[in-house]
Structure 1
Amino acid sequence: MLTPAAFLDRDGVINEDRGYVSTWRDFAFLPGAVEAISRLQDAGYLPVVVTNQSGIARGYFSEADYRTLTERMCAALADAGVTIGKIYHCPHSPSRRPPCTCRKPRAGMIERAIAELGIDRAASFMVGDKLGDIAAGRAAELGATFRVGPKAIGAKDGATARFPDLATCAAAIVAGDVAVGC
């Protein structure tokens, strides 16, 4: 049996996007984000994080720095009862030639998760704060794409729906106020 997933971008969705966040000192969960992920998990969605991390290719931080921060984030989420199914990251620069297949707006990270984790793409959705997140979810043919954050409201981006934050988005999904899939 396939599993529905909540694909979540990291910076700007789960935590404050402060530009190349690479240390726990610089990391801060957005208000309501932890509880929102918990609600989605309790509703039967496997939380999967898909995040572009070009700071690695740019030399701003290392893979080891990224892993350390990711472990701290997962530990904090676990303390709140949240288990992330898996985290996928693209360490490549957007100017890489030829371009990689993993960096959003391409769907490589999502496609890899679908194959590795037995994800039901039609019953799954992507939540992101940038156009590339929405494009990746659409390219992967997920059941829905949701854009969150201050730039989301009123945007013309192809998203299924837009919300001020992940908490509001999760509440709408769990309540059935927005459709995921057919």
Structure 2
Amino acid sequence: MMLRAVWLTIGKEFLLIRRDRIGLFMLLVAPIAVIAAAGFSLAKIYGGRTASRGEYSVAILDQDHGAVARAILDAIAHRPELSVIHSSSRLDARQTVREGNLAVVAIVIPPGTTDAIEHGRGAQLILYTDPVKYLQTTKIELTLSELCRKISAGAAAEARMRAAEQTRNLTRQLEQARESAEQA
């Protein structure tokens, strides 16, 4: 008896939908259209491959002119969705993002950044962001974070190699001094 009631209810609903052509259209086509529109509009933000070359602009002020700045510029150049706008001052970089809406973020590479990393000290980049473009900013910040990790790892590996070489040289010199002392 219960199963018959379910079938009668389903049959009645299909009869109603069949008579209401607009309702049937909205039931079938509207969800597909909404999902497609949302997918296409958000694909760029969530990593879709619809991004053309230079979809996101990044303003860069290079005050360091060192190896770290070149590494950052090279890494950004290899990202197809990012394009670079060179800034002439911090004020120009900030205005490019916040007032001009020409870039999603502005990166300032302060003087001494390369020197600090080469000598094992901490170095910081300055980022100017537009709070309205939160998702795009986050995507670029993650890219920069990955880049900074790679630069730090490379600098640490180079420092370890230099330390190992100095240790070998010092050991060699101590060995030579010991041999000279034994001969004397």
Do both share a fold (TM > 0.5)?
Answer: no
TM-score when normalising by structure 2: 0.30
The structure with the largest alpha-carbon Rg is 2
TM-score when normalising by structure 1: 0.30
Higher RCO (CA-CA < 8 Å; seq separation 6+): 1
